[in-house]
Amino acid sequence: MLKIRKYAAIDIGSNAVRLLISTITEPENKETTFKKTSLVRVPIRLGADVFVYGNISEENMSRMKDTMRAYSLLMQTHKIEKYKACATSAMRDAENGEKLANEILEDCGIEIEIIDGEHEAAIIAATDLHELIQDDKTYLYVDVGGGSTEFTLFTEGKTVASKSFKLGTVRLLNDMVDDSLWKEAEEWVKKQTKPYTKISLIGSGGNINNIFKSSGKKTGDPLSYLYLSSYYQLLNSFTYEDRISTLGLNTDRADVIIPATKIYLSAMKWSRSKSVHVPKIGLADGIIKSLYNENKR
């Protein structure tokens, strides 16, 4: 008998807030499939407040409440069976992050879980990464967000090490990352990857997805270090306005894409990776998968 479920995930990041609605199809005696039915993204950029002032502004608190009300209605109209909302670096660091979460719960009934970097990496690891990861190879998974970057090393199909650094695109734009943090991240990556001769990168996040889309490559084909490096030079040769008008980037993407590309290139250099795979998997996908796994248990 065919079972069809609808789950939703809300990813509250430092740059944007996303609602992913997924249709899960469970045919009898066949593999379960996960289809992205709808993805809505609102670029609130909570990190611009938090990383500079330590608080979420009144304006962005109001925008967050409006967004959550809209997401609540969308989940109702889609007849969502289960959902989970997770907030990462910005709400975690905000002095009024818990206050905002409580107000949203009271206002529209959406419960927000504020998670740490390690939990975030673990949720992402619950996705369909195993379909990409080959048991005889070693991969460094790099998830670049507005407030932090999560590094996870996989070898022989298993997680070997994972660490989160406050190396995020919005922090970098606001000049809030000093050289010591770059050095710390570099030393960690080099130490973890040193025992392995050949490593491929797996890139996650809206910026690398955007770069992959613009490359015109087929799904499954990796981007080379050379391509990413030349694209980084191209981005830097344009003004912010030109990145919007000529490259067709969204206004909230046209600035963060440069520090994001720098992080990916740095990770490739530190790990001696020559290519980066872009499976278009992120926190929201991990939330859907973890909800499904919890339900199965």
Q: Bin 54: left if φ > 0, else alpha if -120 < ψ < 50, else beta.
A: left
- Which DSSP category does 81 fall into? S
Return d(Cα 8, Cα 82) in angstroms, integer.
6
**Predicted structure pTM score:** 0.89
Residues spanned by CATH 3.30.420.150 within the chain? 129-281
Residue 229 CA, chain-centre distance (Å), reads 21
193, 71 Cβ separation under 8 angstroms: no
146, 252 Cβ separation under 8 angstroms: no
Write down the pLDDT at residue 42: 96
Return d(Cα 231, Cα 215) in angstroms, integer.
9
E strand or H helix that includes residue 26: strand 17-26
Angle at 70 between CA 68 and CA 75, to 5 degrees: 90
Q: Tell me the pLDDT tens digit for each residue of 7-40.
A: 999 999 999 999 999 999 988 888 889 999 999 9
The partner residues of 138 in beta bridges, in order of sequence, read: 155, 199
Write down the pLDDT at residue 282: 84
- CATH number for region 129-281: 3.30.420.150
Write down the pLDDT at residue 133: 63
Q: Tell me the pLDDT tens digit for each residue of 108-143.
A: 999 999 998 778 877 877 676 656 666 678 999 999
Give the SS3 label for residue 42.
Answer: strand
E strand or H helix that includes residue 257: helix 257-271
Is the sign of the CA dihedral 80, 17, 268, 52 positive or negative?
negative
Say which CATH class 3-117+284-296 falls into: alpha beta
The low-confidence residues of the chain, meaning pLDDT below 50, are none
Residues spanned by CATH 3.30.420.40 within the chain? 3-117+284-296
